[in-house]
Chains A and B, each alone.
Chain A
Amino acid sequence: MSPLKHKHPEGPYWRSLGELAGDPDLQQLIDHGVVPPDLGAPSRRGFLKALGASAALAGLAACRWPEEKILPYAHRPAGQTPGTPQHFATAMEIDGVALPLVATSYDGRPIKVDGNPAHPASGGASTTIAQASVLGLYDPDRSRGVVERDGANELNRDWAAAEAWLKGRLDAHASDAGAGMHLLLPITSSPTAQHLVESIEARLPRATIHRWSPISRRNESLGAMAALGQPGRPLLDLEQAHVVLAIDEDLFQGHPDAVRLSGQWGRRRDPDQEHMLQLISVESGFSLTGAVADHRLPLAPSRIPGFLAAVALALFDQHHIAVPAGGEAIVSKLREHFANAQAHELAAQAAQALASASTHAAVVVGPGQGVGAHSIGWLINSALRSGAVKVLLLPDEQISGTLESLAAAVAGGSVQTLLVLDTNPALDAPADFDFAAALASVPHSAHLGLYRDETGQACQWHLPMAHYLEAWGDSRSWDGTLGIAQPLIEPLYTGRSVIELLSFLATGAHTPGYDLVRGGFAGAGVLDALNGRTTEQVWSQALADGFTATHFSQSDPPVSRFQALTPSLDPSGDLALSAAPASGLQLRFAPCPKVLDGRFANNAWLQELPDPISKLTWDNAALMSPATALGLGVTSGDMLTIGVLGVSIEIPACVMPGIAADTAVLPLGYGRKAAGAVAALAGVDVYPLRDSRSMWSVGGATATKLGRRHTLASTQDHYGIDARGAAEAEGRISRLVRTAELADYKHHPDFAQHTVHAPPPISSWKEHEYKAEAWGMIIDLNKCTGCGACTMACQAENNIPVVGKDDVIMGREMHWIRNDRYFAGDVEQPSVAFQPVTCMHCELAPCEQVCPVAATQHSDDGINTMVYNRCVGTRYCANNCPYKVRRFNFFAYTKGASAIEQMVRNPEVTVRSRGVMEKCSFCQQRISAARIKARNEGRELRDGEVLPACAQVCPAGAISFGDYNDPDSRVAALAQSPRTYELLPELNLKQRTRYMARVKNPIATADAGEHDDHGDDGHGGQAPTTVHSAATDELGARSATARQQSEKQQNSDHGGHNQ
């Protein structure tokens, strides 16, 4: 049967622009395998050191290893079995939204953090940041005690001295009822914190409370006010949605409800269900939502409200949707400002899709857009009577208090005492506030924080804060469910939590966090419906579960329908602003998916995690499209001076396909000098460019090339390949990531099986029959959002070391599971495919055949095992692996860790030393633990009992693990799916890790009924069928030029190469 020529929707794949354009550095990589490091001349000292080391080795070691001590408890806590991990439910709060977690404690110290399976917002999954947070607990750069700055002297003090000082300030303000006393708090949803703030306000009525977060979702709340009259947040329910239009919003990373939304996304992308979810994304930067969307349009930040307005007007005019009551004012403003704007083709198509989905459609707008865009979003949702998005009305304090009023007060000299708790305005306040300098003028100031950071150094007193794993707390998840956060370890550095400090201010005495949370529990409204239980029972249940279901207010559950708009805020000013075209380069300030606003900048795991789209590690860069870069005459790594409103910074450029035209995306949170040793190595601080009027985007920026270069460590250009290989790779990648459109899938559900035609496999080896368990993993590419949580979970679970920027440049990053990112199609508007790659655990593994010392073997249950103590480091196995999943310890990356840093390691997994190969083991320790448990209980293993770290954490549920030999298991069922395939099947390796092909769901157009004839060419290579951007003719010409240029380069490479 001749191979199908299925309509390959995305065309040939390419991994980076360098490949397309014949980058000379990439050529170096190709020719020599690695970019040669600058080792420097050996020094005399270094030589003598080496000599000394070998002399030491000549001495005889004892015939038996050194004596080991056993230290049992003197009084063992009840219920604790040494060597058995315990699990406690807790929660991590970021900017007022809790992520429900279950933390694993081993011998009294937390080593891993996972989602809470019982919590609806988590389902057992979590995020990269949650996975990495346990490293932050043991960060040696954390502040270790109270520090007082007295003039030029820095004195180490203790909490008694701090309390005395605080008492002194409270007494000083007692007479004027707190006038001149200001508190700066983070945004928090903690009911306990709220009660304490009210107590403080009662005690000191003239004291002022401010709240600040540099990446707050304030615009979202204000948008709800503009449309619905009250601050609120959208609760998107993808289970009810058929079409979702995401405007400058990343639903799957950075969104406070990302875990739930990713889980819903995974379930709604099953192509066999009746209405597969369709996602349309319009954005300036490149987010995961844009990467997985069926349609994506990159637009400069100022043009996005215009797009949304076009969609709205198309709905009312072309599709005759009725304008909802109360919405006439906004519609008239839209007609006033946007009637003559040039509409994009996608706007009309999106309107059509939304109209036909009607109540199953939803529009979500990101916090980077202003009030105007948000009100248009609510207008559309209301007009469509969307059942997929509800509004959770928030209490006023959730958006009350701003840094602006504080800055004004400080400038006016009315601030006598300033207490900054768990926030860092000296770093991230808008540049026009000049907050760091302003702090110096405040007579009495104190800072509570995890690190003695920029604000901590600027304040008089710095007080160490307890990490969330060390402190009691409560907070609410996105939908209002109250979660209890319990500590797993006593504060390592005498830290105290925000609520403990607030209670000190309210009462003048220290109250432990447990008492505060337990006392506040009664007031949180959870006891209104006891249902026959005592308070203690409700509390114990909440503690065990980690949450108890309530809303912000029992009387105000989420509003499900909103027929009428009742604006209490006028968005017209913002709309008018959006209608005026912005000139010059536009800048988009984006929270980094890894370090957020910089609070995690000192976390080495996050710094080394490749950014999901740019694949940059240890750095940020000004991300811009190839056309923009061409206009500036820069390539990746060229240093730029970017200036706006009279301030400029120097930052390297990174050329990234898909960024909006005339836009540079600047990730926040890097270049921090006061966050610790790790943060100081990474990136450039872009906060100086951020103004209070342009918190998310600004126009009129200039960028000039400096002439210097900066090496960017990206994981996307390793293992370069020559031109003939590149051509071959282009064809192969479309076999690695098999994609089809929904219409094609419906006609040919087994398209994935026909993408590759290999001769029937004949094995040179005698094959083994697996009678016991046959472990295997299936990764559904249709669900994967590319977030990288799998990489982070694996790092936390398996003691994977951090290698640093220089070694990442040489391709030595140690991640056992990596997420490959491929672009396809138009260079200016590409589509993206993600593929998590881990050890395939081939039954006929090429690595096992070549190990000279049999350090890698195959177990009876089909796992390709790695025996670290046998490995001598020939690296032949890595050479032989077709997937390049084996990682080698080139240096002793794990040596030299302090005692505190060692506490994060998982004792169940060997810590590897230098010279040893390592790779994914399917979490052998979890398999053994489950098997032993089943044996001890006298039963068989159940499906789903063994969960490797990656499968456990994946928010989209893309990774399934289980026993292929178990007929009832999930993986056995998925293995039968027509979408399931193996990578490089022609090698006949009988891989245990398989993939499921992607199905894209583009908007049905007039020519959707066409079906490609079945030709002979089974490979990809077709032009993409995604909607072309061409925002303006000029842009279209420019991108076409860029494309032609790169094509020309490519052709010349093809022509002139390979003698």
Chain B
Amino acid sequence: MSRFIFPAWTNQLKVLIPVLLLGGAAYLTLLVAWGASPETTDVGYQPVQPVPYSHALHAGELGIDCRYCHTSVEDSAHANLPPTQTCMNCHQRVRTESIKLVPVQESFASGLPVEWVRVHDLPDYVYFDHSVHVNQGVGCVECHGRVDRMDEVWQHEPLSMSWCLDCHRDPAPHLRPADEVTDMAWQPREDRQALGEELMRLNNISPPEDCASCHR
């Protein structure tokens, strides 16, 4: 019996197939790792809102404190959106003829809510508590970015678990005195790391790293 002889072009194939397979696997891995990671899919999320509310105008230019609207951020797990009543505190008199405010006025009159689209959303199996972060000195800007420069809010940070853990494992670079949390432009006078470590010591800050602290 004569041995089977492969045609000549299979010599190249012998090299090409493993290269393609390995290269393809590497390519797919990198594609998923970079393309499907929260940094890619979540950062920059900027949904269209029913009312073109501009934080840059209200929080930035007018200087309204975050907590004027997001009132429960120091008391509750949820940082609430303001009721229509809060908007109308000013807008009963201010810019009443503006077409942008029509949904707000309709909500106020009818009692039905304005249907905002959530920008910073965590999965349902994550239980995040705002109040303990705000009270321990984590500034708004650390997680939400420079909202006071955003005309339409977009997600600045990935809010992924590894991103959260990075801070939980080393909170010092992200801490500030508790009365400065809403100051988006705040810069420390001294070394940030040293200040953070001092605050950790003073306030007995020890962020949990147990699974159950967030996943319950």
Contacts and interface: CB of A to CB of B under 8 A. Distances in A.
Interface of A: 63-65, 67-76, 81-84, 857, 859-861, 863, 865-870, 908-910, 921, 924-925, 928, 932, 935-936
Interface string B100-132: 000000011011111111100101110101011
Given A63-B36, A71-B113, A908-B127, 7 more contacts: A68-B121, A70-B117, A74-B84, A74-B114, A84-B75, A866-B212, A932-B131
B83 interface: yes
B81 interface: yes
B80 A83 contact: yes
A908 B123 CA distance: 14
> Which 3 residue pairs spanning A and B have beta carbons closest together?
A865-B212, A83-B78, A859-B210
B80 A932 contact: no
A68 B113 contact: no
18 contacts: A67-B47, A70-B116, A71-B113, A72-B82, A73-B85, A74-B108, A74-B112, A857-B210, A857-B211, A859-B208, A859-B210, A867-B212, A867-B215, A868-B215, A869-B215, A909-B216, A924-B216, A936-B74
Interface of B: 36, 41-42, 45, 47, 71-72, 74-78, 80-85, 107-108, 110-118, 121, 123-125, 127, 129, 131-132, 135-136, 208, 210-213, 215-216
Contact of B41 (A63, A868, A908): A63
Contact of A72 (B81, B123, B132, B212): B81
A925 B127 CA distance: 9
Given A64-B45, A71-B113, A74-B111, A935 B136 contact: yes
B65 to A, nearest CB: 18
A868 B125 CA distance: 8
Given A74-B108, A859-B211, A67 B85 contact: no
A869 to B, nearest CB: 4
Nearest to A857: B211
A697 to B, nearest CB: 50
A67 to B, nearest CB: 6
A936 B38 CA distance: 30
A72 B86 CA distance: 11
Interface of A is mostly: loop
B75 A81 contact: yes
Nearest to B129: A932
A70 B113 CA distance: 9
Contacts of B118: 67-70
A908 B210 CA distance: 17
Contacts of A76: 83, 85
Nearest to A72: B81
Interface-centre pick from B41, B135, B212 (highest chain A CB count, 10 A): B212
B113 A84 contact: no
Contacts of B117: 67-70
Contacts of B83: 72-76
A971 to B, nearest CB: 20
A428 B212 CA distance: 49
A866 B216 CA distance: 7
Nearest to A936: B135
A64 B215 contact: no
Nearest to A76: B83
Contacts of B115: 69-71
Contacts of B47: 67
B84 A72 contact: yes
A687 B63 CA distance: 72
Interface-centre pick from A70, A72, A81 (highest chain B CB count, 10 A): A72
Contact of B211 (A69, A75, A83, A865): A865
B72 A82 contact: yes
A861 B206 CA distance: 13
A81 B174 CA distance: 27
Contacts of A936: 74-75, 131-132, 135
B73 to A, nearest CB: 10
A82 B127 CA distance: 15
A73 B82 CA distance: 8
A282 B116 CA distance: 65
Contacts of B42: 64
A867 B211 contact: yes
B116 A860 contact: no
Contacts of A869: 123, 125, 215
B127 A928 contact: yes
Nearest to B45: A64
B160 to A, nearest CB: 12
Interface-centre pick from A859, A869, A932 (highest chain B CB count, 10 A): A932
Contacts of B116: 69-72
A910 B77 CA distance: 15
Given A76-B83, A84-B76, A865 B216 contact: yes
A970 B84 CA distance: 48
Given A860-B210, A869-B125, A83 B135 contact: no
A861 B212 CA distance: 11
Contacts of A867: 211-212, 215
Nearest to B82: A72
Nearest to A922: B212
A279 to B, nearest CB: 41
Contacts of A857: 210-212
A83 B113 contact: no
B127 A74 contact: no
A775 to B, nearest CB: 11
A72 B80 contact: yes
A13 B129 CA distance: 48
A60 to B, nearest CB: 12
Contact of A81 (B76, B82, B125): B76
Nearest to B84: A74
Contacts of B210: 857, 859-861, 865
Contacts of A64: 41-42, 45
Contacts of A71: 113-116
A921 B131 contact: no
A909 B101 CA distance: 38
A925 B47 CA distance: 32
Nearest to A864: B212
A921 B215 CA distance: 12
B85 A75 contact: yes
A1046 B129 CA distance: 59
A83 B212 contact: no
B85 A83 contact: no
Nearest to A934: B132
Contacts of B108: 74-75
Given A63-B41, A70-B81, A928 B111 contact: no
A525 B116 CA distance: 52
A863 B85 contact: no
Contacts of A921: 212, 216
Contacts of A74: 83-85, 107-108, 110-114
A84 B110 CA distance: 26
B132 A910 contact: no
B84 A73 contact: yes
Nearest to A62: B41
Nearest to B213: A928
A13 to B, nearest CB: 35
A982 B209 CA distance: 29
A830 to B, nearest CB: 41
B62 to A, nearest CB: 20
A870 B132 CA distance: 25
Contact of A65 (B110, B111, B121, B213): B121
A377 to B, nearest CB: 51
Contacts of B129: 928, 932
B48 to A, nearest CB: 10
Contacts of B74: 936
A860 B208 contact: yes
A932 B216 contact: no
A65 B135 contact: no
A71 B83 CA distance: 9
A72 B114 contact: yes
A735 to B, nearest CB: 31
Contacts of B212: 857, 859, 863, 865-867, 921, 924, 928
